[in-house]
Structure 1
C-alpha cells in the first residue's frame, strides 16, 4: 500500500512543481538559441521553429519547462493558446534591428494587456548585444515603454542583455541572472498566479458548456437543468457573477501596489539592467 501511494504521488507531483514558461518573439530574434543557453545544451540544428518546441531544465532546484513558439507571421495567432497555463513569459527582442524593435513593441503591448497574462512576470531579453549596431537595454526600455506598461497592467518586468561574445572577459551576459529572477518572482507569487489560472480555466470550461447546450443560456429557470457557474468555479478563485463574464482587468486585479523602476549596479559600462518589479504587501 505504501509503495502504491509513493508511485501515485510521484506521478502527481511533477504537474504541481514544474514551472511552465513561454518563450516568444519575432522571427530570427534568437529564441531557440536562448532556450539552449538556459538549458545548458549545445544546439545541433539551425532550422526555423515551426509550431512549438519544448525544453526541460532545472533552475536552482526548481523544475522548469520552456515552450518556444515560432515567431513567423503565420504563427503569431497560435501564441494565445499557450497563455492560460504558463507562469511567466520570456520575450526575446532583436536589439540590432530597429524595425524588429518597433514591431516587438506593438506585440509586447498586446501581450501585457491580455487577460490571461495579467499579473504574470515578463523577462525581456535584449538579444544580439554582440553586434555593433545593437542598442542597450536602457534605450530598449524607453523604446518599448516598459515602465509605463508595467505600471498600467501590474506585470513585474525585467530587462536583461544577451549576446554571443565568444567567452570574452569584458562582456556581460545577463541571461542566467534574468532567468533566476523570473523563477524567483514566480515562486514568490505562485499562489496568486495559480488562482488566476484556475479562475480563467473555470470560465473557459463554463463557456464551453454553454456553447455545447442546445439553446442559449438566458438565466431563466426551465424544467431542464442549466449549467451553474458555482459548479464550474474553482473554490480558490475570486467570485465573479454571470453578468461580469467579460473580464474587467481593473475590477478583477484591483491591486493598488506601487511599481518602481530601479537600475541595478552597473556591471559593464554599456550594459545596464533595468528592473520594473511589483512589490506585493
Structure 2
C-alpha cells in the first residue's frame, strides 16, 4: 500500500513540476559529425521532436524540458558568429572527431577559448567524442589528457562530461545510448543550477526571453 501511495505521489509531483526551456549550443570544428549526431538524437526521440520553423535548430521534449538544439557551423570563417549565441545558452555540446589527431591542437584551442568566454564560463559542457567506430580514434580517457580537459574545466568552473559517440549505422544501438546518457546528464546538471543559469540567459541574451518556468524551482570531468 505504501509503495502504491509513493508511486502516485511521484507521478503527481512530476505533473506539477514546471516544464523548463533550455537552449543547448552544438559546436565543434567542421566535419566532426554534429549534424549527424543531431539527426540521430531526433531518430531516437522521434515521438518527442517538436515542430520548429527556425533553420539549424531542433526542438525536443526530454523529460520535463523543452530543449532547443542550435547547430552552429564549425567552418573557420563561421566560428566568429558563435559568440552571438553564447548569451542564449544554458549549456554546450562540443562535438569532436576522435580520429582526427592532426586537428586535435586546433580543437583544444577552440575549446579553451569557448570555455573562457565570460558568457560561457561556468556553464556545463558535454563533449561527444565522435567517430569512435574508426580504428584510429582516441579513447575518451586519452582525449581528456590530450585536450587538458580537466584543467580547462577547473579554470573556467564548468562541469564537463565526455561520452563516446558515433553515428555509424552499425553502431546505432550502443552509441545512441551513450549520446542520450550524455544529454540526460547535461540536462540534470542544468536543472540543479537552473535559476542561476536562466538569470544569466535573461541578462546576456540580445532579446530577453519570456520567463523560463511557471514555478521557482566532485570532479570537474566525468568519463565513461
User: Do residues 190 (structure 1) and 191 (structure 2) align?
Assistant: no
| CA spacing shift, 1:141–1:173, aligned 2, 3 Å | farther
| CA spacing shift, 1:131–1:61, aligned 2, 3 Å | same
| Cα offset, 1:197, TM superposition | 2.4
Alignment of 1:85-100 (within 5 A): 85-100=88-103
TM-score (norm 2): 0.76
Q: Distance in 2 between matches of 1:80 and 1:145?
A: 22
Match of 1:122 in 2: 125
Q: Distance in 1 between matches of 2:201 and 2:67?
A: 17
TM-score (norm 1): 0.61
Match of 2:185 in 1: 181
User: Do residues 83 (structure 1) and 42 (structure 2) align?
Assistant: no
Q: Distance in 2 between matches of 1:176 and 1:200?
A: 28
CA RMSD in angstroms, aligned pairs only? 2.4
Highest Rg: 1 or 2?
Answer: 1
| CA spacing shift, 1:58–1:30, aligned 2, 3 Å | same
- Residue segments in structure 2 that go unaligned for 5+ positions in a row: 1-18, 46-54, 208-217
| Cα offset, 1:100, TM superposition | 2.3
Match of 1:215 in 2: none
| Cα offset, 1:187, TM superposition | 1.0
- Residue segments in structure 1 that go unaligned for 5+ positions in a row: 1-15, 43-51, 206-258, 264-271, 274-281
Alignment of 1:1-281 (within 5 A): 17-40=20-43, 53-163=56-166, 164=168, 166-167=170-171, 173-201=177-205, 259-261=218-220, 273=224
Q: Distance in 2 between matches of 1:150 and 1:169?
A: 30
